[in-house]
Amino acid sequence: MPFAACQAGPVLPATCLSLHRPTRPTGAAVLVLAGSSGAREDERAGLLAEHGAVALALRWFGGPGQQPGPYEVPLETFHEAVDLLEQEGERLGVLGSSFGAEAALLAAARDLRTVHVAALAPTPVVWSGVDEVTGRGTSHWTWGGEPVPYVPFDAACSPSTDPPSFRPLYEQSLRTAADRVPAATIAVEEIGGDVLVVGGEDDQVWPGADFARAVADRRSPTGSTPRWSPRPRPATGSSCRGSVPYAGGAS
């Protein structure tokens, strides 16, 4: 599996990047984003390279100089990663799962380039992140140093199952903070490339299938044909090599 060193930029630490180059390139270049772990998904990136794509696996929090958790992560992180990929291929894409799918959709919607997106277990809105040190709720993302509008969690709702299912928390939070939803909705209609969404009907982390349908529905009026792939299994992304299956509400 070919690897290459990446040159870091103002936002991207070099230790958080790994570039996988194919032996038979097809012209595709893909940014690969993990979910709530924020980890580099080298196995998934390697799979894409086996099929001809240059793949850049990115650790998007928890690395040197990065946010310690998935909160107030600069969207410029992902744009800078796509800048690197632009030197590697003419067809640009972002593959993300869960929180990584949220980042993929949001970053592509704010990118003037034609960027294709594959979103596994996506969300149609930006969600709250939590500073684990202070307990402060804030946006998952920033843009130009300012928090992106987000949907806060309903503090009165907490998981009651073991393993925990967070799906009711997300569903209740959308109802409780309904006035925050319009501003927090990701403008997927602004994405210049194609969008593929995959959602699990029995996803217990959040309502993955409903969220994926919402993304596809919002794309429809633009004239884009949504690519929608429902999955009956709860661990939506686990059917893709490079993912680990989880039970219940584990993320």
The upper half-sphere exposure of residue 152, i.e. CA atoms within 13 Å in the direction of its Cβ, equals: 12
CA dihedral 24, 119, 19, 7 (to 10 degrees): 130
Give Cα 89 to chain centroid, integer Å: 21
For residue 64, tell me if it sits in a domain: yes
Predicted confidence band at 223 (pLDDT cuts at 50, 70, 90)?
Answer: low
CATH of the domain at 65: 3.40.50.1820
Domain assignment present for residue 61? The answer is: yes
Q: Is residue 31 part of a domain?
A: yes
| Nearest alpha carbon to residue 81 among 136, 22, 9 | 9
Report yes or no on 245 lying in a domain: no
d(CA 89, CA 137): 38
pLDDT tens sequence across 14-35: 779 999 999 999 999 999 999 9
Answer with the residue of higher pLDDT: 113 or 160. 113
Residue 248 belongs to some domain of the structure: no
Domain assignment present for residue 250? The answer is: no
Alpha helices in the chain (DSSP H): 42-50, 76-86, 99-109, 167-176, 181-184, 208-219
Percent of the chain with pLDDT over 90: 77
Query: Cβ of 22: how many Cβ atoms within 10 Å?
Result: 19
Q: Please tell me the predicted confidence (pLDDT) of residue 185.
A: 98
Give 147-200 pLDDT, tens digit per residue. Answer: 999 999 999 998 888 888 999 999 999 999 999 999 999 999 999 999 999 999
Q: What's the pTM?
A: 0.86
Q: Count how many residues are written for the chain.
A: 251
Higher per-residue pLDDT: 196 or 236: 196
State how many domains the chain has.
1
CA 200 to chain centre: 15
54 occurs within a structural domain: yes
In a domain, 213, yes or no: yes
Domain that holds residue 154: 3-239
Residue with tokens 């194919």: 22
